[in-house]
Structure 1
Amino acid sequence: MALRFILAASALILHVIAAPPQAQAPLFPYAKAVGSRGPSLESARANAPHIFNALHSSMRQWGSSLNHNGMSLFPARIPNNTHLYHGTHIPNAVKGMEWLAFEIEHAEMFARAFPGRRPGRRPGKPGDPERPERPERPGEPGEGPPTPPFELTWGETVDGIQSMDDDDDEPDFSRGYLHIYRTIRPLTNLVYIDGMSAGKTMMGTLDTQDYLLRNITDGDDSPAFNDFRRGQDLCDLGAKWGIEGFVRMEMGFEIIFCEFSDGLILESAYERPSGKNQSFERMPQLEVLRGASMRYPGITAQRLRLDYSGMVSAYWYDLNMTNPDPERADLPRLPASDVEGLGNMKADFMALFEESSSRSDVGNDWQGVTDMIITRYSDRLQLMAGNDTSRDTILSDIAVLLNLYIDYGNFDVPTAIEKCSAHYLIAAVPESTADHMIHEALLTVMNEICSTLFYVRHLILVGEDETDRSALEESKLALKSLIAYLDWTTSKECGKCGYDEICFVAIWPWGSMEDHKHPSCMKDEVLSRRQGYWDMWGLRPRPPPGNETGSAADGLW
């Protein structure tokens, strides 16, 4: 009763608060920059929820799987004495460019025999007439299964295979090996490409690599089978910029590391079981995905740190990110033909990367700021917006969230909203261009949250009659509009699953449209049938008619 009396009394001096703006569209077609095509605070404000979510989901498997078309780049660092893993078909230490995994299960997927090798002969060299430049697509006639979309196994030995003479001894590709590497110095010149950036699709997962970094303007008709070339191009760019590797994500996080002999030591290379004799020798799909799902909240142990003060995002620029596929308007796409706009973004990242490299430590922990905001507001917003939530429950949660900013002896709503909006941003001191853009975006998001909550508070307190449902319904509409505007990925979490299950969201190359929209707890026998979401051939992803009884990923291994 005391709480209700205080809230009711405060309503007597409550200023009239305008209704909050409507929820944003899934994507902004463009954000007008003032005076130039460089980054602008206006663009940061217009795209504020997307920038907020890019920060919150960075280096996290969960949010990066849901928002899989990443539009941002971050300088990254890995400390000394960090273990990384590599699956291959040879026991020797890798030289040159190759892939590293952060998780053991991810690397185990590649610790197997060389794929597609016919008995009694070595894999063909590039350009060999018997080695097709483009493998057959799944389901089309061809010799044997298609090459996996992972270029890892080919990339590991391409230099050695190309240098072999015809009279060389036949290499033994019949076994797999799991390598454990350890960093022998801090790897301070890495770039993290956000989203499902190692997902070989035609849906936009590769836009920042192909259109922004590689300057491709006419698309790539077979991205699933060109990842080794992509890695070479990225490392060629890295040689010019002083970048030693690129961090990406698929069924776990990986690094395209440009020179294994510089910064890594091979600790062990253990032969893997053949898997032919015992079923337990094979790696179940559930365990591969469990390894990835353990990194839904992040890779832990500070094995990699991002320099958010060196971030660059397409959401800061005057770029048309509208998806040409009207049925996937929720997915942003970079405009490959906008050479000027992408060129500006690329040049800005080069400058910020150099600035980041000169710092002894990373800058502001903006992801930590988003964590503070989401943990305070996310669950309470969902509760208050619930169809069955009562007026008293909303008032109680509103009081919990807003009382910190209210001086009941001198109540001023604009001042309270200002304090509420800035509260969690105080710890971060904007210094770089990235800091100022991020600060503006987060301040915009917080202002939307705080303004909406004070508006809802006003609606309910003015509607004193508990039998009058109009104020309650309008309040819930405002809260649902806010939730849609924020689009936080936490609302799709499964909760605790059984020990023989994982919370499954579509992770390349597995998953259906239903798994993307409504992740759920699943067992191993169900996971093997989930497919249809990822478009690797420029076809709009549609699940097959009827029950999903086959896995498109099965043909990719």
Structure 2
Amino acid sequence: MLSRSLQSLLGLSLSLSLVEAAQIPFIAPHETSTSAVPFAGLENQSDNWDINVSPNENATGHLIFETVSSFMQHWPNTRYRNGHNIVPGIVPVGTVLYHGRGDSNTPTGPEWLATDPEHSYIFCRGQASTGCWQLTVTALRPLNVLYLDGSGAAKMPDGPMDSQDVLAFGEIIPEKYIAERERIKNMCQWAKDFPVDGFVRMEMDFEIMLCDFSDGVQVEPINLRSRGNSGGPDSEFYPPGPHPYDDTSFAQLDINSSALPNTGFEVIHSGSWHRYYPGDTRIQLDLTRLISFYDTELVPSLVAERLGKDRLKHRLLGISQEDLQNAVKRIEEATTATEPGSGIDWKTLIQLVIKRFENRLEMVQYILNSTSPGNSNIQIQLVAMLRPYMLSTTKPTQDLASTEWVSPMFKLCATTYTKYITANPSLHSRLTASEELILGGVHETTREICRVVTGMWVDGVMAGLDPDLYKPSTTEGLVETEIESLLASWKERISSLMKWLDWSVWLKCRPACGFEELCELPMWPFRRGTDEFEDPQPKCIRRMAPFDSSWV
């Protein structure tokens, strides 16, 4: 029979600490422009440091945290192709970009640029006898761009184009997912009223929709060897004539051709160079001007649209006209904003949180999923995560059913990365509204990690796994049923936490790919099966001949 203390704690933990894997949301912070007092949000709520209080089911702070941590990285934005953020940034002076075409002319209107030549080369069209053309386009001044996360160049009707529709059409129009020429024309028309030179989005690799090739860039045409093996037109990928993004010719796209699979694979290969943090650093984002459609204060109408849906199904369809107009106004303000912000390096701060917990949480899950998990090994991992926060005064009280004794430790763990901001009125007052949003996301994420891990550690302590703190009254130690209950509780909580966090670093090919292979996710326009985009999962594909023709 379970000891009374362990039985009480495990029952409480199982009933109250499980979290939903869907969005969990975010209590918006106060406006810094009207207050200089220290942060008065989540941290100061009276029940905030009770390890048995889980996040609100509509919270989005952890989603803001995860999407910001994934900016300009190919891997996470391939899995979650429906972007929810728009961020101003610059393309630095001297950055070389590429534009493939059928002639040597400089575009006189908006066109697409690739960040890597492998991506541009599939648009380099011509005959074997005359070759094809690739323009190298170099930035002569910083180019002002807006980055749209997700896979914004995936021509699919189920959400990747939503954030572009906001600017291009003023509403979400799924049936226009293929209307690329109209989209770039409308977006660049909108950009004329603001200091915006183009838009950054992701396809097999990153690309820029550049509005004007006569302003701020130097263009040099290069005549390259064509992919064609005969005197006939090189039509394996795109036919000669109009640009393939023209609505009338785009349907002729045949990037799945097995005739030249190495060309298709090299586009995937170049995109993989920017797979993980720091991603493609040639576009430098300004997080102090971030606009997120996960901001429940800016776009409350999407809260009900997301409720109960898996994150893969999140999109902007269903946004109210009022919220859409407010979002556009915020985007327009962001393009001209001059506030310097706080100076906090948010990218590094977020990565510090991920690096601290990613491997250890994964290790705990691995041990719990093994055939013979050792409860002492798990407790060792929990202690390793929590050691910097274990105050000398942290120890159980005589009331064995209470967990209040661990609240100071829980609070220190959860606020370690944000306390210097929230406790400093001068620094906190300099945060922009976008930085407040990121701050809330960091705080919500660290709070839930620390809440779950601390709760698991407490159960281990009360089970006698840390005898210096607590020794159960029974001299025999844990019986088999108690061990099973403890392990089941731990396994459920760690799985729920990792599913809720949903960090892309845990999405891997298992087992790992061999040297002649590349771990890859399904991406538009490559297809491996009819339902692969419903829940994209990684798979090893060959990076040497013979290539997998079903992929490229």
Common topology (TM > 0.5): yes
Paired residue for 2:168?
214
Q: Shift in Å at residue 200 of structure 1?
A: 1.0
Pick the aligned partner of 1:484 from 486, 499, 509: 499
Secondary structure in 1 matching 2:312: coil
Q: Shift in Å at residue 33 of structure 1?
A: 7.9
CA contact (8 A) 1:96 1:261 kept: no
CA contact (8 A) 1:321 1:334 kept: no
Paired residue for 1:313?
292
Distance 1:449 1:173, change over 3 A: farther
Secondary structure in 2 matching 1:241: coil
Paired residue for 2:108?
95
Pick the aligned partner of 1:500 from 516, 540, 543: 516
- The answer to whether residue 434 in structure 2 is matched with residue 434 in structure 1 is yes
Q: Shift in Å at residue 319 of structure 1?
A: 2.2
Q: Tell me how far apart the structure 2 counterparts of residues 272 and 71 of structure 1 sit (CA, whole Å).
A: 40
Q: Tell me how far apart the structure 1 counterparts of residues 140 and 97 of structure 2 sit (CA, whole Å).
A: 12
Paired residue for 1:529?
550
Q: Tell me how far apart the structure 1 counterparts of residues 58 and 304 of structure 2 sit (CA, whole Å).
A: 18
Distance 1:396 1:247, change over 3 A: same
Distance 1:453 1:312, change over 3 A: same
Which stretch has the larger CA shift, 251-260 or 267-276?
267-276
Paired residue for 2:18?
22
Distance 1:336 1:44, change over 3 A: same
- The answer to whether residue 229 in structure 2 is matched with residue 276 in structure 1 is yes
- The answer to whether residue 533 in structure 2 is matched with residue 518 in structure 1 is no
Q: Shift in Å at residue 367 of structure 1?
A: 2.7
CA contact (8 A) 1:75 1:192 kept: yes
Question: 1:140-289 residue pairs with structure 2 within 5 A?
Answer: 175-187=131-143, 189-210=144-165, 212-217=166-171, 219-224=173-178, 226-277=179-230, 283-289=262-268
Q: Tell me how far apart the structure 2 counterparts of residues 45 and 481 of structure 1 sit (CA, whole Å).
A: 16
Q: Shift in Å at residue 34 of structure 1?
A: 11
Unaligned runs of 5+ in 2: 1-5, 32-40, 43-55, 232-257, 396-404, 422-426, 465-476
Structure 2 residue identity aligned to 1:418: K
Q: Shift in Å at residue 84 of structure 1?
A: 0.9
- The answer to whether residue 386 in structure 2 is matched with residue 407 in structure 1 is no
Q: Shift in Å at residue 96 of structure 1?
A: 3.0
Distance 1:283 1:179, change over 3 A: farther
Distance 1:379 1:363, change over 3 A: same
Question: 1:276-425 residue pairs with structure 2 within 5 A?
Answer: 276-277=229-230, 283-298=262-277, 302-317=281-296, 318-320=300-302, 330-336=312-318, 338-355=320-337, 358=338, 364-386=344-366, 387-388=369-370, 389-409=373-393, 413-425=406-418
Q: Tell me how far apart the structure 2 counterparts of residues 312 and 223 of structure 1 sit (CA, whole Å).
A: 22
Secondary structure in 1 matching 2:302: coil
Paired residue for 1:79?
92
CA contact (8 A) 1:23 1:484 kept: no
Distance 1:66 1:383, change over 3 A: same
Q: Shift in Å at residue 181 of structure 1?
A: 1.5
Paired residue for 2:83?
70
Paired residue for 2:36?
none
Distance 1:266 1:280, change over 3 A: farther
Distance 1:519 1:206, change over 3 A: same
Instruction: Compute the RMSD of aligned alpha carbons.
Output: 3.6
Q: Tell me how far apart the structure 2 counterparts of residues 361 and 76 of structure 1 sit (CA, whole Å).
A: 15
Q: Tell me how far apart the structure 1 counterparts of residues 220 and 278 of structure 2 sit (CA, whole Å).
A: 22
Q: Shift in Å at residue 247 of structure 1?
A: 0.3
Q: Tell me how far apart the structure 1 counterparts of residues 278 and 411 of structure 2 sit (CA, whole Å).
A: 35
Deviations 1:501-530 (A, max 9, x none): 211101211134447532021115564314
Q: Tell me how far apart the structure 2 counterparts of residues 456 and 80 of structure 1 sit (CA, whole Å).
A: 51
Q: Tell me how far apart the structure 1 counterparts of residues 549 and 342 of structure 2 sit (CA, whole Å).
A: 41
Which stretch has the larger CA shift, 334-343 or 454-463?
334-343
Distance 1:301 1:250, change over 3 A: closer
Secondary structure in 1 matching 2:228: coil
Deviations 1:26-68 (A, max 9, x none): 346x9898999xxxx8999811121111111111000101111
CA contact (8 A) 2:110 2:212 kept: yes
Structure 1 residue identity aligned to 2:463: G
Distance 1:216 1:374, change over 3 A: same
Q: Identity percentage over the alignment?
A: 25
CA contact (8 A) 2:26 2:444 kept: no
Q: Shift in Å at residue 446 of structure 1?
A: 0.5
Which stretch has the larger CA shift, 495-504 or 324-333?
324-333
Which stretch has the larger CA shift, 241-250 or 279-288?
279-288
CA contact (8 A) 2:204 2:267 kept: yes
Q: Tell me how far apart the structure 2 counterparts of residues 452 and 283 of structure 1 sit (CA, whole Å).
A: 47
Q: Tell me how far apart the structure 1 counterparts of residues 334 and 76 of structure 2 sit (CA, whole Å).
A: 25
Secondary structure in 1 matching 2:209: strand
Q: Tell me how far apart the structure 2 counterparts of residues 256 and 402 of structure 1 sit (CA, whole Å).
A: 46
Distance 1:393 1:282, change over 3 A: closer
Distance 1:476 1:108, change over 3 A: same
Q: Tell me how far apart the structure 2 counterparts of residues 220 and 367 of structure 1 sit (CA, whole Å).
A: 32
Q: Tell me how far apart the structure 1 counterparts of residues 74 and 155 of structure 2 sit (CA, whole Å).
A: 16
Distance 1:69 1:289, change over 3 A: same
Distance 1:415 1:18, change over 3 A: farther
Distance 1:298 1:113, change over 3 A: farther
Deviations 1:195-235 (A, max 9, x none): 0011111010011111x2234447242422x1111001111
Q: Tell me how far apart the structure 2 counterparts of residues 33 and 298 of structure 1 sit (CA, whole Å).
A: 27
Distance 1:500 1:295, change over 3 A: same
Deviations 1:216-257 (A, max 9, x none): 447242422x11110011111111122111000010100001
Secondary structure in 1 matching 2:409: helix
Paired residue for 1:6?
none
Distance 1:305 1:359, change over 3 A: farther
CA contact (8 A) 2:274 2:280 kept: no
Q: Shift in Å at residue 286 of structure 1?
A: 1.8
Structure 1 residue identity aligned to 2:365: A
Distance 1:26 1:18, change over 3 A: closer
Deviations 1:442-461 (A, max 9, x none): 10111000011110001122
Paired residue for 2:51?
none
CA contact (8 A) 1:89 1:174 kept: no
Q: Tell me how far apart the structure 1 counterparts of residues 547 and 305 of structure 2 sit (CA, whole Å).
A: 32
Q: Tell me how far apart the structure 1 counterparts of residues 28 and 446 of structure 2 sit (CA, whole Å).
A: 22
Secondary structure in 2 matching 1:270: strand
Q: Tell me how far apart the structure 2 counterparts of residues 79 and 35 of structure 1 sit (CA, whole Å).
A: 34
Secondary structure in 2 matching 1:420: helix
Secondary structure in 2 matching 1:316: coil
Q: Tell me how far apart the structure 2 counterparts of residues 362 and 247 of structure 1 sit (CA, whole Å).
A: 25
Secondary structure in 2 matching 1:99: strand
Q: Tell me how far apart the structure 2 counterparts of residues 365 and 331 of structure 1 sit (CA, whole Å).
A: 31
Q: Tell me how far apart the structure 1 counterparts of residues 172 and 436 of structure 2 sit (CA, whole Å).
A: 34
Q: Shift in Å at residue 416 of structure 1?
A: 1.7
CA contact (8 A) 2:109 2:212 kept: yes
Distance 1:274 1:72, change over 3 A: closer
